[in-house]
């Protein structure tokens, strides 16, 4: 039976951040995953991202593995309301200038706090960093609805922000924590780009440790070691297990923890003829009740995200499907729970539950690897 001291399950940015750090320290590990990239998934032609779509210029840790493509900005959006279509920077925006300035001020403050937390997050859990910073703590536990009211942003949210934010996280932005609300809006002040992630470069140093397979069950032994059963029928043994899977999957393998509410979303990547009223460069955003967003990609294809009924015929005259899929889960954004990342002896969880995003997942993977390294080399009982 193949055996390693450490097994990482999951090859998204958490699992890969972990693997990178363990490789740097010369540790014995295997990474077992259904795929490489997880919720960073690119179209067969390598041009269009179906999951994570943009990164900001602040994503310093993943930047070495990325080719930036196009600027992603609020100003590229075409907003719809009934039969009216409007742009971000237009006369319509004038009445929102005071609210916009209040929001901008908050975004600059928020960015400073996030940067300070990120700078320490490879050695301290995000939970601790957030709880130690009164600003982040307040906004992590506050519902964005209250923030919008407090800052008098309702009209701006109704006319612009809710449409923009639906396209980023597929729900009413009033229902998520203020940190998530401000996190995505940070793209207004930080240059943000669509991107190609070069997983081949990132995984090159540990390519021979990757096994593409699905873990189906987990057996614990009396001496706190583990046997993993996989879809292919191979079993793997390890002393330390890192579950770098989304929390809903981790919860099927360990004693379940209370987690935030999950958001799912459907998508199409297609070639076709879009209806005249939606034939604009870049992005079509809609009122949140419509639960839809459409991106006109630079290569002429379209990404259509939706929830509820599939209304592809409402937006397109003709279409040819390149890919159709569902993210389930896409994100965990309802609530303010934290997870316990070391719930059982020799088991660690590395996921984006507490702080989502590609950069934060990668940083968190390093943090979990550092916890394991510390436990292994300081002889502290786990
Ligand atoms: C539609 C969408 C849009 C997003 N937009 C952005 C964005 O624009 N910018 C941004 O920064 N972030 C965005 N995100 C969030 C970002 O993608 C995630 O926070 C991040 O990629 C999570 O990484 P992870 O490693 O924690 O999880 P995942 O990427 O989900 O990785 C989990 C891995 O575990 C594997 N796995 C699961 N179960 C098993 C099993 N039983 N056995 C073996 N392997 C298993 C999976 O195959 C996967 O490889 C978006 C996410 C989605 C879904």
| pLDDT at position 109 over 70 | yes
Does this model's pTM top 0.95? My answer is yes
| pLDDT at position 381 over 70 | no
> Would you place residue 380 in the very low, low, confident or very high pLDDT band (cuts 50, 70, 90)?
very low
Ligand 1 pocket at CB < 6 A: 9-15, 32-35, 38-40, 51-55, 214-215, 244-246, 249, 265, 327, 330-331, 351-352, 356-358, 361
Question: Residue 17 falls within a domain, yes or no?
Answer: yes
Q: Per-residue pLDDT tens for 302-352? A: 999 999 999 999 999 999 999 999 999 999 999 999 999 999 999 999 999
Let me know the angle formed at the C-alpha of 323 by 317 and 326, rounded to the nearest 5 degrees. Answer: 105
Question: Residue 292 falls within a domain, yes or no?
Answer: no
| DSSP character string of 114-170 | HHHHHHHTTTS-HHHHHHH-HHHHHHHSSBHHHHHHHTT-HHHIIIIIHHHHHHHHS
pLDDT at 74: 84
Measured in Å, residue 325 CA sits from the centre of ligand 1 at 14
| pLDDT at position 196 over 50 | yes
Q: What is the CATH number of the domain that holds 365?
A: 3.50.50.60
3-class state of residue 27 by DSSP: coil
pLDDT averaged over every residue in the chain? 96
Name residues whose C-beta falls within 8 Å of residue 381's C-beta, 6 or more positions apart in sequence.
none
Nearest CA to ligand 1 atom 7: 52
> Would you place residue 379 in the very low, low, confident or very high pLDDT band (cuts 50, 70, 90)?
low
The kind and range of the H/E element at 96 are none
pLDDT at 278: 96
Question: Residue 115 falls within a domain, yes or no?
Answer: no
Structural domain harbouring 245: 3-44+197-260+335-377
Question: Residue 307 falls within a domain, yes or no?
Answer: no
Nearest CA to ligand 1 atom 25: 12
Question: Residue 56 falls within a domain, yes or no?
Answer: no
- Residue 170 CA: nearest ligand 1 atom is 1
Largest CA distance in the chain: 69
Question: Residue 40 falls within a domain, yes or no?
Answer: yes
> Would you place residue 82 in the very low, low, confident or very high pLDDT band (cuts 50, 70, 90)?
confident
Best probe residue, ligand 1, of 32, 39, 71, 230 (max atoms within 8 Å of C-beta): 39
Mean per-residue pLDDT, 253-268: 97
> Would you place residue 210 in the very low, low, confident or very high pLDDT band (cuts 50, 70, 90)?
very high
Q: Tell me the percentage of the chain whose pLDDT exceeds 70.
A: 99
Question: Residue 223 falls within a domain, yes or no?
Answer: yes
Question: Residue 29 falls within a domain, yes or no?
Answer: yes
| Number of separate domains in the chain | 1
């Amino acid at each position: 039976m193949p055996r390693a001291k450490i097994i990482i399950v999951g090859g998204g940015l958490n699992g890969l951040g972990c693997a990178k750090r363990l490789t740097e320290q010369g540790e014995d590990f295997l990474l077992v995953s259904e795929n490489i990239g997880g919720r960073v998934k690119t179209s067969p032609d390598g041009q269009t991202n179906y999951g994570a779509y943009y990164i900001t210029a602040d994503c310093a840790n993943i930047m070495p593995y990325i080719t930036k493509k196009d600027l992603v900005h609020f100003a590229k959006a075409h907003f719809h309301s009934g039969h009216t279509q409007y742009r971000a920077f237009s006369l319509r925006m004038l009445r929102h200038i005071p609210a916009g300035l209040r929001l901008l001020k908050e975004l600059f403050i928020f960015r400073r706090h996030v940067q300070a937390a990120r700078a320490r997050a490879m050695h301290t859990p995000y939970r601790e960093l957030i709880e130690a910073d009164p600003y982040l703590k307040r906004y992590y536990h506050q519902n964005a609805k209250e923030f919008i009211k407090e800052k008098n942003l309702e009209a701006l949210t109704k006319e612009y922000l809710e449409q923009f934010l639906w396209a980023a996280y597929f729900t009413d932005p009033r229902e998520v924590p203020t940190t998530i609300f401000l996190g995505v809006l940070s793209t207004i002040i930080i240059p943000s780009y669509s991107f190609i992630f070069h997983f081949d470069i990132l995984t090159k140093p540990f390519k021979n440790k990757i096994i593409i397979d699905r873990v189906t069950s987990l057996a614990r032994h009396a001496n706190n070691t583990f046997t993993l059963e996989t879809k292919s029928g191979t079993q793997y043994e390890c002393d330390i297990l890192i579950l770098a899977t989304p929390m809903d999957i981790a919860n099927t393998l360990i004693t379940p923890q209370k987690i935030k509410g999950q958001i799912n979303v459907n998508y199409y990547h297609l070639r076709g003829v879009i209806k005249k009223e939606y034939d604009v460069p870049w992005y079509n955003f809609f009122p949140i009740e419509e639960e839809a967003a459409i991106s006109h990609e630079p290569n002429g294809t379209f990404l259509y995200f939706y929830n509820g009924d599939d209304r592809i015929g409402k937006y397109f005259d003709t279409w040819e499907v390149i890919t159709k899929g569902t993210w389930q889960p896409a994100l965990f954004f309802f609530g303010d729970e934290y997870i316990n990342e070391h719930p059982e002896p020799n088991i660690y969880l590395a996921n984006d539950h507490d702080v989502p995003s590609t950069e934060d997942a990668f940083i968190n993977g390093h943090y979990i690897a550092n916890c394991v390294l510390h436990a292994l080399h300081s002889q502290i009982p786990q």
